[in-house]
Chain A
């Protein structure tokens, strides 16, 4: 088979086929899956964190975790959801580290969010500044549901908690944001 034909097959192969091939040690399949979902993972990281500073690292850590845990993946067709769960966990850890660093240095880190419309920049900066004051435990579910647009069951799955817990955390975050920003955002 020519290299071009092989590439076409990789592009068209379904997730479960790619996962099976990765389990067999196929690097091309790993790259094909990476190309398919790297942007998706980057999007989650960006919208949960609010800037580009750690997007590369989140994508990297997520796909390293994929390599490490691919043999434990029970349903290969759900690799996308699995990546979202791992990316959420990686983001939560990083936000935790960030808030600990801030607590130690007692100063806010500079964020440079990029907006699709620069006119919205001030509003979105305000939102992320408010989110920075929340703990990752409530911030991540809120951002996953309200910004990323995940349904409540999806949010619960990605955050690794029950539906009831995720609702409680989203509500808690919304209450804190309401106090800081008013009704507009929550």
Chain B
């Protein structure tokens, strides 16, 4: 083939790194060894016939539901004050309280109504993610409790997610007040607050995750960077790493990310920073960076490596429980993953 066309130069090259190459090869080997992809026409024809039958049955079922007579289906009303609701893994169920407020529970969520009358509605959420759509303009108070965290509401839509180690409140519309240990945070529309699940005696009062207007103003305006400039900056990082000057390498990487718009390349830089911090034996910091790396692009090519890195960093940092949980997640998601051998000790 001739030299690259001008369009090919403009479009550029794919992100194709050694790790990615090895990972894809591991997947190919796994499938080749399992004999997947070989022609199995009888099986395919059987599946196709079964698919057609299922489709016809589905259409008939839909027609039956659409054309049958009967009362419209109303959402279930929780009327009793102390009824427990445990939702099995299923699509979001929709329920209504007596004042017209609506509650959507994610799979596995658990909550109960502690008080429900004309003056107040008090709900206690034990676990999982629940979205509340609170009826506006009523005089009663509306409160959701998770342990010692209290969320007070004035006509709004918000979500409370109670995981094993944190409570996260996200406001979609309106305003809520979150009370924890004598301190109150007010959240407006599209704001979010994350608090540790249990307040320990030695714990400092957490700051809200909401970005303050002052911080917003101080934010550095990021510049676009060309691939050549980025390569130059990364060469400096590599030089610092080769010289064993890891603090400088980390500082340079942070500087690049702070000042430049990196798009999809951000994930690769975060991954490198995670490795550098791991090299500095700052394992907790490294684990957080690997976590950011995964979040930067959940479908990106380095998610598998970042997940393994996070588990190993947490383990090295002494957080064995979380490290094991992540290693299990890795093993479930990548049964033939290239880091499985390194994570084996965590899975025992």
Binding site for B on A (CB under 8 A): 27, 31, 34-35, 38-39, 42-43, 45-47, 50, 52-53, 55-56, 59-61, 63-65, 67-68, 112-121, 123-124, 127, 146-151, 154, 185
Contact = CB atoms under 8 A, between A and B. Distances in A.
Contacts of A185: 7
Q: Which of B11, B21, B38 has the largest number of chain A CB atoms within 10 A? A: B11
Contact of A68 (B8, B25, B38): B38
Nearest to B37: A64
23 contacts: A38-B24, A43-B14, A45-B14, A46-B11, A56-B24, A60-B24, A64-B31, A64-B37, A67-B28, A67-B32, A68-B37, A68-B38, A68-B39, A116-B12, A117-B12, A118-B261, A119-B226, A120-B10, A121-B263, A147-B8, A149-B1, A149-B8, A150-B1
Which among B10, B27, B29, B32 has the highest number of chain A CB atoms within 10 Å? B10
Contacts of A113: 11
A34 B14 contact: no
Closest 4 CB pairs of A and B: A116-B12, A46-B14, A149-B5, A64-B37
Contact of A42 (B5, B14, B38, B265): B14
Given A115-B10, A147-B5, A154-B1, A64 B36 contact: yes
A67 B33 CA distance: 10
Nearest to B230: A118
Contacts of A39: 16, 21
A56 B20 contact: yes
B10 A116 contact: yes
A146 B5 contact: yes
A34 B5 contact: no
A43 B32 contact: no
Contact of A55 (B2, B8, B11, B14): B14
B23 to A, nearest CB: 8
Interface residues of B, number: 40
A43 B11 CA distance: 10
B69 interface: no
A149 B263 contact: no
Most central of B7, B12, B15, B263 by chain A CB within 10 Å? B12
Contacts of B224: 118-119
A124 B5 CA distance: 14
Interface string B247-276: 000000000000001011100000000000
Contacts of A65: 37
For A27, A113, A116, the residue with the greatest tally of chain B CB atoms inside 10 Å of its CB is A116
Interface string B28-70: 1101100011110000000000000000000000000000000
Contacts of B36: 64
B41 to A, nearest CB: 14
A147 B7 contact: yes
A65 B225 CA distance: 39
Nearest to B32: A67
Given A46-B14, A115-B12, A123-B10, 4 more contacts: A118-B226, A124-B11, A147-B11, A150-B1
Contact of A46 (B1, B9, B13, B25): B13
Determine which residue in A43, A45, A150, A185 has the highest number of CB atoms from chain B within 10 A of its CB, and name it.
Answer: A43
A59 B37 contact: no
B298 to A, nearest CB: 12
A114 B265 contact: yes
A116 B9 contact: yes
Given A63-B28, A64-B28, A47 B8 contact: yes
The residue in B16, B21, B265 that gathers the most chain A C-beta atoms within 10 A of its C-beta is: B16
B14 A60 contact: no
A49 B12 CA distance: 12
Contacts of A154: 1
B291 interface: no
B226 A117 contact: yes
B299 interface: yes
